[in-house]
């Protein structure tokens, strides 16, 4: 890239070339980023995007809801995992979190301040930006329930303020232009007079450890739940627990989780997902949709 030196001279964040993305996603699979950038802060990100507005840009948070394909990602991968992690709050319960903060951290911060409403986020393995993009939820809560407003950034580095009512929010989906990305969100939370938010988080985490394969490489839930049904229960009923392709297999603990071994390729995971979808369609006449997003070039 001819302008790479110019870009490096004008931004504070780190820009690297040909970086493996295996350590930047929770499945620990996939190829390399052609260029990899971690912004120093939000202002640094705006400068960077303005400089690369004609290039392909892919945003990545904790990499918990994506399958990065084995041939990697062309252009720039912008990773927010180690940046955009500031927050603020006031006595009225208005909390503003940047998109790089993990959902777990957000649950803990609001609980420590004795405000309730976001305890359920402790069960979501991603960062705020990705959670907003897919309307992540668990334990009966969805992230957009308490959102007041958000700030987006477009591919030119322009910041855009939007209120919640400007979005069409559905189950595990939010309408969003492909060239726009969440950089922060404000939430309206209620004071927790019982001061039991940390106990709620502790109990939810205990339930998660019992019911889900925590500590193993996965993306969280792979498939959306069909109407009035559970994807995990459907797969269990078809005897798919333990089914494997290459280094990827369906968890014995929870069938809606796919686990990867060190030998796994991204292609193993993608083939396993397709096999599961085909099997469920054939046996149950149900088309399972994925929560996980596929990014990068196919082999």
- Label residue 210 by pLDDT band (50, 70, 90): very high
pLDDT greater than 90 at residue 141: no
Q: Is the pLDDT of residue 1 over 70?
A: no
In contact, 139 and 123? CB cutoff 8 Å: yes
Q: Is 263 a catalytic residue?
A: no
Looking at 221, 251, 266, 270, which residue is catalytic?
221
pLDDT band at 112 (very low <50, low <70, confident <90, very high): very high
Helix (H) or strand (E) holding 20: strand 14-20
CB 144 within 8 A of CB 33: no
Kindly report the number of other CB atoms within 10 A of residue 159's CB atom.
14
Mean pLDDT computed over 160-188? 94
Taking the C-alpha atoms of residue 170 and residue 175, their distance in angstroms, rounded to an integer, is 8
Residue 125 carries which DSSP code?
Answer: -
From 107-116, 136-145, 203-212, the region with the lowest mean pLDDT: 136-145
Q: Would you place residue 2 in the very low, low, confident or very high pLDDT band (cuts 50, 70, 90)?
A: low
What global pTM score does this model have?
0.93
Q: What is the mean pLDDT of residues 104-120?
A: 96
For residue 110, count CB atoms less than 10 angstroms from its CB and return exposed for 0-12, middle for 13-18, buried for 19 or more: buried
Q: Which pair of structure tokens corresponds to residue 227?
A: 């109407």
Burial class (CB in 10 A: 0-12, 13-18, 19+), 151: middle
Which residue, chain included where needed, has tokens 């990899």? 36
Q: What is the DSSP letter of 225?
A: P
Query: Of 64, 83, 172, 186, which one is the catalytic site residue?
Result: 172
Residue 291 annotated to the active site? yes
Identify any residues that bridge with 27 across adjacent strands, giving them in sequence order: none
**What's phi and psi for 246, nearest 5 deg?**
60, -125
User: What pLDDT digit, counting tens, does each position of 232-283 carry?
Assistant: 999 999 999 999 999 999 999 999 999 999 999 999 999 999 999 999 999 9
Mean pLDDT for the stretch of residues 18-22: 97
Domains of the chain, CATH where assigned: 4-79 (3.30.43.10), 87-197 (3.30.465.10), 213-295 (3.90.78.10)
Q: Please say if the pLDDT value at position 68 is more than 90.
A: yes
172 is catalytic: yes
């Amino acid at each position: 890239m001819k302008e790479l030196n110019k870009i490096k001279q004008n931004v504070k964040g780190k820009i690297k070339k040909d970086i493996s993305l295996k350590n930047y996603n929770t499945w620990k699979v996939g190829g390399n980023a052609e260029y990899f950038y971690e912004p120093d802060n939000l202002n640094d990100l705006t400068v960077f995007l303005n400089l690369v507005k004609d290039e392909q840009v892919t945003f990545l948070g904790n990499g918990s809801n994506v399958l990065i394909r084995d041939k990697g990602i062309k252009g720039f991968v912008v990773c927010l995992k180690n940046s955009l992690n500031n927050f603020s709050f006031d006595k009225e319960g208005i909390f503003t979190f940047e998109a790089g903060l993990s959902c777990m951290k957000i649950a803990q911060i609001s609980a420590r301040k004795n405000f309730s409403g976001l305890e359920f986020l402790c069960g979501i393995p991603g960062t705020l930006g990705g959670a907003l993009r897919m309307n992540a939820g668990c334990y009966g809560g969805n992230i957009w329930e308490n959102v007041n407003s958000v700030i987006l950034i477009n591919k030119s580095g322009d910041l855009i303020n939007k209120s919640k009512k400007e979005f069409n929010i559905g189950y595990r989906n939010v309408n969003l232009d492909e060239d726009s990305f969440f950089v922060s969100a404000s939430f309206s939370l209620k004071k927790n007079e019982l001061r039991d938010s940390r106990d709620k988080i502790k109990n939810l985490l205990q339930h998660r450890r019992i019911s889900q394969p925590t500590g193993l490489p996965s993306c969280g839930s792979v498939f959306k739940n069909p109407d009035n049904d559970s994807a995990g229960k459907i797969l269990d009923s078809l005897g798919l627990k333990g089914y494997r392709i290459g280094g990827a297999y369906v968890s014995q603990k929870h069938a809606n989780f796919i686990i990867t071994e060190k030998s796994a390729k991204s292609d193993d995971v993608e083939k396993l997902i397709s096999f599961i979808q085909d099997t469920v369609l054939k046996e149950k006449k149900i088309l399972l949709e994925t929560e996980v997003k596929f990014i990068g070039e196919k082999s």
